[in-house]
A and B are shown apart, each in its own frame.
Chain A
Amino acid sequence: MSPFVEIDNVAMRYGGTDGTLALEGATLSVAKGEFIAVVGPSGCGKSTLMRLVTGLWPPTEGNVIVAGSEVTKPLSIAGMAFQNPTLLPWRRVLDNVMLPLEVVEPHRRRLRANRAQYEAEAHALLKLVGLEGFAQKQPWQLSGGMQQRTSLCRALIHQPELLMLDEPFGALDIFTREDLWAVLQDVWLARRPTVILVTHDLREAVYLADRVLCMSARPGRIIAETVIPFPRTRDLALTYTPEFQALVAGLRGQIDAARKQPGLADVA
């Protein structure tokens, strides 16, 4: 079976021919329904990778293929969540969650006629992330963690086949973060979207992903891959086992190596 997401020898340079080279020779493939995490030193082009896969930006070199066709414009099968909640401040929580339904086909066409059904789905999602009863609130009435949960609901409401998460829990405290790991795992097990999670948190990567990819310092490329063998459903107790900690320590070593090891451009 061909991979669902395939990035082949991709380079990305910002701002003209002598601009910053963010990615070079990046190659990776993700199977359908797989959960992968991308880690790497700060500024290694992880977020750039996200933007390339979703088609927000075109790559300078190489190909990005998603669901069998080359990505040339923004995808509509993707749900995205960023480090900031990026909620629209003039919309209530419920309307923020339902935003993708107003844009993405076929929901866009059906929304008016089936509003009640879609609203029920939104309420179910909000309940899943522990936001029952907050649907009618304005975003600024919620705490940072609650806004982030809302943002996660918005990424999921249109049942995307591809879920792109760019440090979605980065700004949260550790307790909220661990709660949301469990929520995300539940959602993934229930719906099996393909997930690419960019994160700085190695425990998060090991806890959630099937495979953890480590990127080099800028210009970024994938330099190591760690398969996470733990069965699902994983629970938080797992994170205190020696096996888990050994994997985290291994990743930590990879990142240290990545920081010392320059990218391709400096070698050439």
Chain B
Amino acid sequence: MSLEAPHPKDRAAALIAAARRRRRLQAWLPWLVVIGMFAFWEAGVRAFDVAEFILPAPSAIAASMVKWWNPILQNAWATLVTTTIGFALAIVFGLALGVAIGSSTLLYHGLYPLLIAFNSVPKVAVVPVLVIWFGAGAIPAIITAFLISFFPIVVNVATGIATVEPELRDVLRALGAKPSDIIRKVGLPRAMPYFFASLKIAITVAFVGSIIAETVASNDGIGKLMIVASSRFDVPLVFAGLIVTGIMGVGMYAIAAAIETRTTGWAMRGQLDPMSAAPGG
């Protein structure tokens, strides 16, 4: 073994190669974990000879997916549409109310208790009321998805705007900026990382909302499919529904995360490659 220090150029090359290996591992890791989980599950079910109507093996679920691909696809599409509409409504109203609450202490104190009260009500309990008002179908599911994903967006946007550093606000105030200027130029950009963090929570709970509503009263959707399947003791199909829901959740999450890194990269600089970091001095 040589005691001589490696050439600086070699060292830099080694560092870059190590960083590349790390990134490759990061990209593959989620897939490896998922595959590992299914393998473990399959092995466990076979080893202990678990009955299919208690816990079906992944292979049985996959077979069920292939067998019922058409109804699964149709119902998944229905769920995706209701969830997305509810989620979109939650973004629009959540952003608006979040900005209002975050920029006015009066509104903040006035509305917060009510918001928390609303959010504490179990959404399952609301669905029957919605069904009475709107009838069974897509509308209760849209509204439940909206109700459940609305709250995290409001709270996060309000927090982002309310916690703008007074110095940043003073920079604009000292220029004679109007309150609307301050919200547009400081408040909103400052709240964007909070907003996207809330979107990642909101999109996953939006699926919870729409599927809850579908299990209670709907003619289609993954929730409805699972209720029908479980009433026939077709447990593999129930699990197929769960897995499809999970896949849709991850997909929507990935879209939100991709938009987040594109628009609020400035707030994530710590996660960037240290090799591209700033010059010191």
Most buried by B among A75, A80, A103, A164: A103
Beta-carbon contact of B281 and A88 below 8 Å: no
Complex alpha-carbon distance, A76 and B177, angstroms: 8
Q: A2 at interface (Cβ–Cβ under 8 A)?
A: no
Beta-carbon contact of A100 and B167 below 8 Å: no
The 29 sampled A-B contact pairs (Cβ below 8 Å) are: A51-B170, A54-B174, A74-B173, A74-B174, A74-B176, A75-B174, A75-B176, A76-B176, A80-B170, A82-B170, A82-B171, A84-B167, A86-B167, A86-B171, A88-B168, A89-B266, A90-B189, A90-B267, A99-B171, A99-B172, A99-B185, A103-B175, A103-B176, A103-B177, A104-B175, A138-B269, A140-B269, A141-B279, A154-B171
Q: A78 at interface (Cβ–Cβ under 8 A)?
A: yes
**Chain B residues near A54 (CB-CB < 8 A):** 174
Complex alpha-carbon distance, A92 and B185, angstroms: 14
**Chain A residues near B176 (CB-CB < 8 A):** 73-76, 103-104
Chain B residue, CB-CB nearest to A82: B167
Beta-carbon contact of B264 and A90 below 8 Å: yes
A 118-154 binary contact with B (CB < 8 Å = 1; else 0): 0000000000000000000010111101100000001
A 77-118 binary contact with B (CB < 8 Å = 1; else 0): 010101010101110000000011011100000000000000
**Chain A residues near B189 (CB-CB < 8 A):** 88, 90
**Chain A residues near B175 (CB-CB < 8 A):** 74, 76, 78, 99-100, 103-104, 158
Question: Taking A74-B176, A75-B174 as contacts, is the C-beta distance between A89 and B267 under 8 angstroms?
Answer: yes
Q: A189 at interface (Cβ–Cβ under 8 A)?
A: no
Partner of A56, one of B173, B190, B269, B279: B173
Beta-carbon contact of A140 and B278 below 8 Å: yes
CB-based A-B contact count at 8 angstroms: 73
Interface residues of B in 119-145 (CB under 8 A from A): none
Chain B residue, CB-CB nearest to A151: B171
- Report whether over half of chain B's contact residues are helix, strand or loop; otherwise say mixed: helix
Complex alpha-carbon distance, A164 and B171, angstroms: 11
Instruction: Please report A residues at the B interface, Cβ cutoff 8 Å.
Output: 51, 54, 56, 73-76, 78, 80, 82, 84, 86, 88-90, 99-100, 102-104, 138, 140-143, 145-146, 154, 158, 164
**Chain B residues near A76 (CB-CB < 8 A):** 175-176
**Chain A residues near B281 (CB-CB < 8 A):** 143, 145-146
Interface residues of B in 162-196 (CB under 8 A from A): 165, 167-168, 170-177, 181, 185-186, 189-190, 192
- With A103-B172, A103-B176, A164-B174 known, 19 other A-B pairs at CB within 8 A are A56-B170, A73-B176, A74-B173, A75-B174, A78-B175, A82-B167, A84-B167, A86-B170, A88-B185, A88-B186, A89-B267, A90-B189, A90-B264, A99-B171, A102-B185, A103-B185, A141-B278, A142-B278, A145-B281
Q: B280 at interface (Cβ–Cβ under 8 A)?
A: yes
Complex alpha-carbon distance, A244 and B177, angstroms: 41
Residue tally, chain B, CB below 8 Å to A: 25
Complex alpha-carbon distance, A100 and B192, angstroms: 22
Beta-carbon contact of B266 and A90 below 8 Å: yes
**Chain B residues near A86 (CB-CB < 8 A):** 165, 167-168, 170-171
Chain B residue, CB-CB nearest to A145: B281
Complex alpha-carbon distance, A51 and B171, angstroms: 11
Interface residues of B in 47-78 (CB under 8 A from A): none
**Chain A residues near B172 (CB-CB < 8 A):** 99, 103
Give chain A nearest CB distance to B190 CB in angstroms: 8
Give chain A nearest CB distance to B259 CB in angstroms: 15
Give chain A nearest CB distance to B122 CB in angstroms: 38
Most buried by B among A78, A102, A145: A102
Question: Taking A82-B167, A84-B167, A143-B280 as contacts, is the C-beta distance between A138 and B173 under 8 angstroms?
Answer: no
Chain A residue, CB-CB nearest to B276: A141
Chain B residue, CB-CB nearest to A75: B176
**Chain B residues near A154 (CB-CB < 8 A):** 171
**Chain B residues near A74 (CB-CB < 8 A):** 173-177
Chain A residue, CB-CB nearest to B189: A90
**Chain B residues near A103 (CB-CB < 8 A):** 172, 175-177, 181, 185
Give chain B nearest CB distance to A15 CB in angstroms: 15
Give chain B nearest CB distance to A93 CB in angstroms: 12
Q: List the 6 closest pairs (A to B, CB-CB), nearest first.
A: A76-B176, A141-B278, A80-B174, A90-B266, A143-B281, A103-B175
Give chain B nearest CB distance to A19 CB in angstroms: 17
**Chain A residues near B181 (CB-CB < 8 A):** 102-103
Beta-carbon contact of B174 and A78 below 8 Å: yes
Most buried by B among A51, A54, A76, A88: A88
Give chain A nearest CB distance to B163 CB in angstroms: 14
B 245-281 binary contact with A (CB < 8 Å = 1; else 0): 0000000000000000000101101000000001111
Complex alpha-carbon distance, A54 and B177, angstroms: 13
**Chain A residues near B171 (CB-CB < 8 A):** 80, 82, 86, 99, 154
**Chain A residues near B177 (CB-CB < 8 A):** 74, 103
Chain B residue, CB-CB nearest to A86: B167
Complex alpha-carbon distance, A84 and B192, angstroms: 23
Complex alpha-carbon distance, A104 and B174, angstroms: 10
